[in-house]
Amino acid sequence: MIPRYQKILFAVLLLGSLVMGLVLWQLRERAHQRLIAGQDLAPTSAPEVAPAEPATLMVASDSDGSLLAQLHSLPLPADSGARARAVLAKLLDLYAASDSSHPVPGGGSAVLQVFLLPAPAVAANPHAASPPQEQSQTGPLLAVVNLSGSFAAGHPSGIETEMLTVLSICGTLHANLPRVTEVRFLVDGQPRSTLAGHADLTRTYLTGDAPASQGAQP
Amino acid sequence: MAGAFALIVVSTQPSFAQPAPPAPQARFVVVLDAAHGGDDTGGRLANGELEKTLTLALSVRLRSLLQARGIQVVVTRDADGTVEPDQRAEFANHLQAQACLSLHATESGSGVHLFTSSLAPAASARLAAWKTAQSAWITRSLALAGALNSALQQAGMNVTLGRASLPTIDSMTCPAVAIEIAPDLNAGHPALGGLDDPQYQARVAAAVAAALVEWRAEARQP
pLDDT tens digits along B20-39 = 455 555 689 999 999 999 99
Q: What's residue A216's pLDDT?
A: 43
Closest CA to B171 of B211, B202, B141: B141
Computed over every residue of chain A, the mean pLDDT equals 86
Using CA atoms, how far residue A70 sits from A128, A166, A169, A215, A217, in Å, is 37, 17, 13, 6, 5
Q: Does residue B52 sit at the A interface (CB-CB below 8 Å)?
A: no
Q: What's residue B4's pLDDT?
A: 39
CATH of domain B26-120+129-220: 3.40.630.40
Q: Chain A: nearest CA to B8, how far in angstroms?
A: 54
Measured between beta carbons, the chain A residues lying within 8 angstroms of B40 are 197
Least confident stretch, B17-21, B90-94, B189-193: B17-21
Using CA atoms, how far residue A152 sits from A156, A199, A210, B39, B62, in Å, is 9, 11, 20, 18, 32
Q: What's residue B24's pLDDT?
A: 54
Give the mean model confidence (pLDDT) for residues B177-187.
90
Top residue of B106, B169, B171 to mutate, by most chain A CBs within 10 Å, is: B106
Q: What residue ranges do the domains of chain A occupy?
A: 1-46, 52-216
Q: Rounded distance, CA B140 to CA B169, Å?
A: 13
Q: What residue ranges do the domains of chain B occupy?
A: 26-120+129-220
Q: Chain B: nearest CA to A67, how far in angstroms?
A: 12
**Burial B116-153, CB ≥16 within 10 A → b, else e:** bbbbeeeeeeeebeebebbbbbbebbbebbbbbbebbe
Q: Does residue B33 sit at the A interface (CB-CB below 8 Å)?
A: no
Tell if the CB–CB gap between B44 and A158 is shorter than 8 Å.
Answer: no
Q: Does residue A212 sit at the B interface (CB-CB below 8 Å)?
A: no
Tell if the CB–CB gap between A200 and B170 is shorter than 8 Å.
Answer: yes
Q: Rounded distance, CA A56 to CA A216, Å?
A: 9
Give the mean model confidence (pLDDT) for residues B58-71.
96
* pLDDT (tens digit per residue) in A134-176: 555 678 999 999 999 999 999 999 999 999 999 999 999 999 9
A83, A111 Cβ separation under 8 angstroms: no
Q: Chain B: nearest CA to A63, how far in angstroms?
A: 5
Give the mean model confidence (pLDDT) for residues A205-209.
82
pTM: 0.78
Tell if the CB–CB gap between B104 and A193 is shorter than 8 Å.
Answer: no
Least confident stretch, A4-13, A54-63, A110-119, B117-126: B117-126
Q: What's residue A120's pLDDT?
A: 80
Top residue of A104, A157, A193, A207 to mutate, by most chain B CBs within 10 Å, is: A157
